[in-house]
Amino acid sequence: MKVQNEAKPYDTINVTPMLDLAYVLLVIFIIMTTASVQGLKINLPKPSNKPSLEKKEIRIVQVLANGNLMLNGAGLTLQELETRLAAARARDPDTPVVIKGDPDVNYEKVVDIIDMAGRLNISNVGLVTTRIGV
């Protein structure tokens, strides 16, 4: 008589315990990584309590609904605006320029003034995005 309890070699390996271990290690890695990153250190500038002794004259360029230009309330052409801004830049390299475009104007006019400020190397340019005094 032949005994049937012979030890057969396994053809496959059970990987379930190995996957369980991999998932546990992954969870531990995620928790440890996020726990070690508490936040970023940023050195913010501190406000100065002393008043600025230097008052800069702000150049306000308005683009009206009909496309006309105004510099501090005086009407002028694009070429006149360029010469006045170049003269202001020559006097003060940090001269601030603020551009206020009417909501009904073609935005190409505003972009032309921004490009002009870039050509004149005026770096302190601002755009008015809300209505003032409303």
Q: Do 30 and 23 contact (CB within 8 A), yes or no? A: no
Q: Do 100 and 68 contact (CB within 8 A), yes or no? A: no
DSSP class of residue 52 equals P
Look-up of token digits 């004149």: 120
The pLDDT of residue 102: 81
What are residue 60's DSSP bridge partners?
98
Q: What is the mean pLDDT of residues 83-108?
A: 84
> How far is residue 118's CA from residue 53's CA, in Å, rounded to a whole number?
28
Q: Do 102 and 74 contact (CB within 8 A), yes or no? A: no
User: Highest mean pLDDT: which of 16-20, 86-90, 117-121, 128-132?
Assistant: 16-20
* CA nearest neighbour of 72 among 105, 90, 96, 94: 96
Q: What is the pTM of this model?
A: 0.53
The pLDDT of residue 19: 92
Over residues 34-68, the pLDDT tens digits come to 766 565 566 766 766 666 656 777 888 888 888 88
Q: What are the chain's domains?
A: 59-127 (3.30.420.270)
- Is pLDDT of 21 > 90? yes
